[in-house]
Structure 1
């Protein structure tokens, strides 16, 4: 357990009485609000361990790019074996914690911290299934790498897209998180997705369904919602939102969380910077292009271009233009 060691004399200029009062008030605040505390957390996943799992999986997704650099044909299997054993051990512990967390929430027993044979058995099955998906994840990411290279004339080599492109980084974490999401793992896929979001500025919900050869160019500000469906060979630019238009409710006034709320992009769709496409019944037909800045809440037939009205430009001289010749 992490602990905090105060530095002697470091608070000598601070009123001890004021500190004690603050301590009492913060303690009282924690006790009074169950939403923002877990005083007994043995059943919660450890975010740092989850991030370590992502790091190790990078060693399998892109060996030689990340992790050990000296890997040969003779040592490759040993490398793969070592990583898979470590990932399996770490992931099993985090998944069984997440399952116990879900169990405690469902049964309203937040103090439940012991082992659960049911959760352990299910976690073991999930880890086995997840590890078996890694070859397919690698195949999809290889296509994403090629799509990034083919889609960006500034790229000099596919290696550059792996090392440098935030879109590919976000996709690599998404494709791992998506497999865990499909296996009904609670909490951990969202931890992974929000880590990628904080790293890249690209927000892909692990529940989204994304096809082969997907390219996110530049990437900053891209949002792809939970029930979004994206076909093969699609491309989106920075600032694109694939979001929900409205949130349907049942007769009790509760949100229907399982219906499709986000749009569908069919194959070979390009969406340019700053476009917003909303709604679960909005389908962008195959081969269509959505121009930058478009706000769209209705479907588009295949093979069409959608553009916003052209802005009216007004030019006037700048009275604060500095002296000198700045023309190129």
Structure 2
């Protein structure tokens, strides 16, 4: 044992006892002592989305030694395993939600319906991601190939996770969807709520610091740069002072819009088709189609010294 290790004496038993006391005395946890909650696992869902990506793009995100004869087997085996794991995670969410609401539901058929519905959407999800990859390749002169875009660009990683998460969100598994979104957020610095509606050919260039809120609606062929926020301007409260959940509070961005780095767009406003929003703009009002919005120019006056 090192001299540092030998000198280190930690009161582990006392800490364990204190932490037990906090858990037991917590009002929330007193209700859960007999039935501790079992929640969807980030450690399961992160690799699960990687597996789905490998099934969608077996030659680029799957095994390196695949040949034509083995691709369908690999895709089928990978999908079967991933979807069965997904079923287990969705079932955990449905059971947890039912317990929180004091409801009794048949978890197994409900979870199966969600996973089957999700599986049916996988070809559509693949096409959407293809359109995102193509938009990135065409929109970035530094992109050497669509393959480079898929395996290197954080915006495409975030898009893949969002396409998966959004489908699950709409099918009735919002907690599983949120965990998947947060895996991408941690990996890329891009924060997209799974409720956001994003059409085809979506490109986030660079990406770090991008935030897209739950009720945002984004049209086709939209391009965002780093540190763009599509957020809420205010948060309404009900009569008891609690925040109102779910109401539309984020921007609508129509087709063919470009929003440059650092722009902040807040509230349920509409950015009209074909508009360009300049860097570091703070925007809280509607913008007509075809607009060009930029910061006011800084004027520097040089005065002659007498």
The residue number in structure 2 matching 1:23 is: 16
Q: TM-score, normalised by structure 2?
A: 0.91
Aligned residue pairs total 299
Deviates more, 1:142-151 or 1:79-88: 79-88
1:203-282 aligned at under 5 Å gives the runs 203-280=191-268, 282=269
CA distance in 2, matches of 1:10, 1:117: 55
Matched ranges for 1:98-247 at <5 A: 98-107=93-102, 118-247=106-235
SS in 1 for 2:178: helix
Q: 1:20 to 1:234 in 2, by over 3 A?
A: same
Deviation at 1:81, TM superposition (A): 1.3
Do the aligned partners of residues 314 and 96 (structure 1) sit closer, same or farther apart at CA in structure 2, a change above 3 Å counting? farther
What do the CA deviations read for 1:232-260 (whole angstroms, capped 9, x no partner)?
A: 01000000000000112233333221210
Secondary structure of 1:74's aligned partner: helix
TM-score (norm 1): 0.85
Instruction: Confirm or deny that 1:303 pairs with 2:296.
Output: no
Structure 1 position 47 matched with structure 2 position 42: yes
Instruction: Give SS of 2:125's match.
Output: helix
- The aligned residue for residue 274 of structure 2 is 287
Residue pair 1:99, 1:186 contacting (<8 A) in 2 also: no
Partner of 2:69: 74
Q: State the 1:13 CA deviation.
A: 3.9
Check the 8 A contact 1:241/1:275 in 2, yes or no: yes
CA–CA distance in structure 2, aligned partners of residues 293 and 284 of structure 1: 16
CA distance in 1, matches of 2:12, 2:237: 47
After superposition, give the CA deviation of every residue in 1:87-117 in whole Å (9 maximum; x if it has no partner): 1211111110111011111129xxxxxxx87
Supply the distance in 1 between the matched residues of 2:124 and 2:178 (Cα, whole angstroms). Answer: 21
Shift in Å at residue 72 of structure 1?
2.9
Preserved contact between residue 268 and residue 287 of structure 1 (Cα < 8 Å): yes
Does the aligned pair in 2 maintain the 1:220–1:238 contact within 8 Å? yes
- Bigger share in helix: 2
Q: Does 1:94 align with 2:86?
A: no
Q: How far apart, CA to CA, are the structure 1 residues paired with 2:19 and 2:157?
A: 39
| Aligned-CA RMSD value | 2.4
